[in-house]
């Protein structure tokens, strides 16, 4: 079965890419070979005067390279050769004797976009599914089929670096504006227009657009001037280093490849591209990012219950209890997904503030022009407010986001249950209280579960769904399915205090507090953990989450897990002082009236340190203590069955609590350090800090049996 169909439209040859047995087209070695065959055919047949490349898949062009093939590389040289082979195919395409038009509808990613760059003319559809990107950096790689060379030549250096260094995708309109495509049309006429353009190009009645068109005059001046380019490269490198703290080698390699092409010509640039691609493919960073890619893909297919999974009920209407920070955020993302939302709070003023917050969540998308004014208005209309349970009677799902107080949560649940359908799902957004305890007040505990969103709801990618022994499978699959409809990465965990994410994060933050008890300096603790790869340090995070919230969580967890989770003195004292962190304008750090963080507030030391001198501490020790506290707690969660798999634990930590993605997650991290080494380090720490750091029994068992969480080679999940 062939991946390319040939159709003639008189003198224009249409190549339809339709890889058999797959829902999408991926660029594989086989597809590359078939493409070479097609090109040879064109060269042999003088009656072909032009060519169009289009996809046979319903909503995508080419989604990128087949990432599974990347796992087969054993040496840098293998990966570099694969890149070179891809480059050669596309070089031949670029040098073909006839003009080639790419007709793009749907995702056009990575190698797919690189292929289009090697053709004469690109048309895309104006459909929302049409997205163009070179996302390789997100896998720790760079475009390896000439993208680092052709992209800047087509759209200018700055725009190309922006796409390449972030991996972000652009929609059709933006692509047209950048000069990434030459034309944008309605999907219904894509192929006809492409064929017409191909013929015009062959006749000479149309010329391909001038290269660098999207860059503007200043952009072009910069690109063509040695000194200007040097500035762009230097600034880009500085930005990358600030953003990545040097943890991600791929953006720097992309810069080098682009640079080589500009200064020494395309052939040299391609050589550098292939060499760097090879190098990157063998780095642990890339392996971990590829693992996360596979893990999230596998997770998307997981219904969240053991098979057989019942069908998920559709959620057309959502009730939200509590129009505060989280409630409004949830209402906002629900409206964006097209759900009708009833938002309930205790008084009209609070409801009003909640609705205003919803407006600003949806408004952010309007400001970024990812929705139109009409869509903005339509989405706002989906949300209405109330101080009673009017309009809850036909809700499919109710999410409770009232204050973190068990009595209140019981009261609210008792109140709302009679007002909703018996088959409606009831979810609490609590971040710590066991769902089983909340469900004690329920007449229908089988409909109760947790949907733990993270703040801010519209930006944080994770949703932790928490199920009790009583929760019905159907309620679980409905919550998981709806979470995905909201665009979230969803993990399902079993019930327990702090579930998975709050519990592991607390173990980590608590250890940071212990470091303060031992006179470490606040900014040093934060700095070393940011250097390890967390997006912000633990003390800054505590200010962000709210010190009062941290205090409550600490209490619940220390009651549940005893001395292992006893809150640090530092935390207890700052909680007692009434400081709440950023939201209250006063925490471990100073905040201005706009909430912008300043330096450490020295007066906080009077609270926590009794005037003692802050002592420098070895960075390695601080990092080890905080991260191993987290990793060990994650192992406890797996051992107790809170987690369904190491995969869920890794994804939850990376997407929910900021575990460095290039380290894969707690379980991948244990595998990479070696289980023996982790146990040894935990035992050493336990000897010094008992009762903390006692290795989870699971880790001891695994060390004895010399087991890993993931296979050492091949596809990780």
List interacting residues with ligand NAI (CB under 6 A).
Answer: 321-327, 344-346, 350, 401-404, 408, 412, 429-431, 453-455, 545
Q: Which of the residues are catalytic?
A: 464
- What is the closest distance, in whole angstroms, from the C-beta atom of residue 292 to ligand NAI in the complex? 23
Q: Which residues of 174-191 are buried (b: 16+ CB within 10 A; e: fewer)?
A: bbbebbbbbebbebeebb
Phi, psi of 101 (to 5 degrees): -110, 130
Distance from C-alpha of 211 to C-alpha of 549, rounded to nearest angstrom: 55
Q: How far, in whole angstroms, is CA 421 from its chain's centroid?
A: 35
Identity of the residue, 9 or 583, whose beta carbon is nearer to ligand NAI in the bound complex: 583
* CB of 164 closer than 8 Å to CB of 132: no
* CB of 476 closer than 8 Å to CB of 427: no
- What is the closest distance, in whole angstroms, from the C-beta atom of residue 451 to ligand NAI in the complex? 10
Residue whose Cβ sits closest to ligand NAI: 324
**28's tokens:** 């594989």
Identity of the residue, 323 or 678, whose beta carbon is nearer to ligand NAI in the bound complex: 323
Identity of the residue, 289 or 463, whose beta carbon is nearer to ligand NAI in the bound complex: 463
Handedness of CA 527, 529, 535, 539 (dihedral sign): negative
**232's tokens:** 């762009």
- What is the closest distance, in whole angstroms, from the C-beta atom of residue 542 to ligand NAI in the complex? 12
In Å, what is the CA distance from 323 to each residue of 92, 232, 240, 549? Answer: 59, 46, 39, 18
- What is the closest distance, in whole angstroms, from the C-beta atom of residue 659 to ligand NAI in the complex? 17
291's torsion region: left (phi>0), alpha (psi -120 to 50) or beta?
Answer: alpha
- What is the closest distance, in whole angstroms, from the C-beta atom of residue 522 to ligand NAI in the complex? 21
Identity of the residue, 409 or 494, whose beta carbon is nearer to ligand NAI in the bound complex: 409
Identity of the residue, 50 or 457, whose beta carbon is nearer to ligand NAI in the bound complex: 457
- What is the closest distance, in whole angstroms, from the C-beta atom of residue 384 to ligand NAI in the complex? 15
Mode of pairing for the β-strands spanning 12-17 and 4-9: antiparallel
- What is the closest distance, in whole angstroms, from the C-beta atom of residue 578 to ligand NAI in the complex? 16
Identity of the residue, 116 or 580, whose beta carbon is nearer to ligand NAI in the bound complex: 580
Beta carbons within 10 angstroms of residue 641's beta carbon = 10
Identity of the residue, 38 or 425, whose beta carbon is nearer to ligand NAI in the bound complex: 425
Those residues with Cβ within 8 angstroms of residue 463's Cβ, 6 or more apart along the chain or in another chain: 451, 452, 453, 454, 483, 486, 488, 489, 490, 491
Matching residue, tokens 């002082």 = 577
The number of C-alpha atoms within 13 Å of 325 and in the hemisphere containing its C-beta is 10
* CB of 604 closer than 8 Å to CB of 570: no
Distance from C-alpha of 641 to C-alpha of 496, rounded to nearest angstrom: 10
């Amino acid at each position: 079965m062939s991946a390319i169909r040939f159709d003639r439209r008189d003198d224009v040859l249409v190549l339809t890419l339709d890889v058999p047995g797959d829902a999408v087209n991926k660029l594989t070695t086989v597809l590359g070979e078939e493409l070479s065959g097609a090109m040879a055919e064109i060269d042999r047949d003088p009656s072909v005067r032009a060519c169009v490349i289009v996809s046979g898949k319903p909503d995508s062009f080419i989604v990128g390279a087949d990432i599974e093939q990347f796992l087969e590389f054993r040496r840098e040289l293998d990966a570099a050769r694969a890149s070179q082979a891809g480059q050669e195919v596309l070089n031949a395409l670029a040098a073909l004797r006839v003009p080639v038009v790419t007709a793009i509808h749907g995702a056009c990613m990575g190698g797919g976009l690189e292929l289009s760059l090697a053709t004469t003319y690109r048309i895309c559809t104006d459909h929302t599914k049409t997205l163009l990107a070179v996302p390789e950096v997100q896998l720790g790689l760079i475009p390896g089929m000439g993208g680092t060379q052709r992209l800047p030549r087509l759209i200018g250096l700055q725009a190309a670096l922006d796409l390449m260094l972030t991996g972000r995708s652009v929609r059709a309109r933006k692509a047209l504006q950048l000069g990434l495509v030459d034309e944008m049309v309605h999907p219904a006429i894509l192929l006809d227009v492409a064929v017409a353009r191909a013929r015009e190009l062959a006749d000479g009645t149309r010329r391909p657009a001038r290269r660098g068109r999207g860059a503007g005059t200043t952009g072009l001046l910069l690109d063509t001037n040695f000194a200007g380019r040097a500035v762009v490269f230097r600034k880009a490198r500085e930005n990358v280093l600030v953003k990545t703290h040097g943890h991600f080698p791929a953006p720097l390699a992309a810069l080098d490849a682009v640079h080589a092409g500009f200064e020494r010509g395309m052939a040299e640039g391609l050589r550098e591209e292939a060499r760097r691609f090879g190098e990157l493919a063998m780095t642990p960073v890339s392996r971990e990012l590829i693992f996360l890619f596979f893990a999230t893909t596998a997770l998307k297919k997981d219904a969240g219950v053991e098979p057989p999974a019942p069908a998920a009920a559709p959620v057309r209407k959502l009730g939200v209890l509590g129009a505060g920070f989280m409630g409004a955020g949830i209402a906002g993302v629900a409206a964006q997904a097209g759900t009708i939302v009833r938002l309930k709070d205790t008084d009209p003023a609070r409801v009003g503030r909640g609705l205003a917050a919803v407006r600003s969540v949806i408004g952010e998308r309007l400001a970024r022009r990812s929705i139109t004014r009409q869509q903005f208005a339509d989405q706002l209309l989906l949300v209405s407010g109330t101080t009673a349970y009017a309009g809850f009677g036909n809700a499919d799902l109710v999410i409770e986001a009232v204050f973190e107080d068990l009595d209140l949560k019981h009261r609210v649940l008792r109140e709302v249950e009679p007002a909703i359908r018996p088959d409606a799902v009831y979810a609490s957004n609590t971040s710590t209280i066991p769902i089983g305890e909340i469900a004690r007040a329920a007449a229908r505990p089988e409909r109760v579960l947790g949907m733990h969103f993270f703040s801010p709801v519209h930006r944080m990618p994770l949703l932790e769904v928490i199920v009790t022994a009583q929760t019905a499978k159907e309620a679980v699959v409905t919550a998981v399915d709806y979470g995905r409809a909201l665009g979230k990465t969803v993990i399902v965990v079993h019930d327990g205090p702090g579930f998975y994410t709050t519990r592991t994060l607390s173990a980590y933050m608590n250890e940071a507090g212990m470091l303060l008890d031992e006179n470490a300096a606040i900014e040093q603790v934060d700095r070393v953990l940011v250097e390890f790869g967390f997006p912000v340090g633990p003390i800054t995070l505590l200010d962000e989450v709210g010190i009062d919230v941290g205090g409550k969580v600490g209490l619940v967890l220390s009651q549940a897990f005893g001395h292992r989770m006893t809150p640090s003195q530092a935390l207890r004292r700052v909680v007692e002082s009434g400081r709440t962190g950023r939201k209250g304008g006063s925490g471990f750090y100073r905040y201005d009236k706009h909430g912008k963080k300043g330096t450490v507030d020295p007066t906080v030391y009077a609270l926590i340190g009794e005037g003692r001198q802050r002592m420098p501490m070895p960075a390695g020790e601080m990092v080890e203590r905080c991260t191993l506290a987290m990793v060990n707690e994650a192992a406890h969660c797996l051992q107790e069955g809170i987690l369904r798999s190491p995969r869920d634990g890794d994804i939850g930590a990376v997407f929910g609590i900021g575990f460095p993605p290039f380290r894969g997650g707690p379980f991948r991290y244990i595998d990479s350090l070696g289980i023996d080494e982790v146990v040894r380090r935990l035992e050493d720490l336990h000897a010094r800090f008992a009762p903390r750091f006692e290795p989870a029994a699971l880790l001891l068992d695994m060390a004895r049996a010399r087991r890993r969480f993931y296979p050492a080679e091949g596809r990780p999940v």
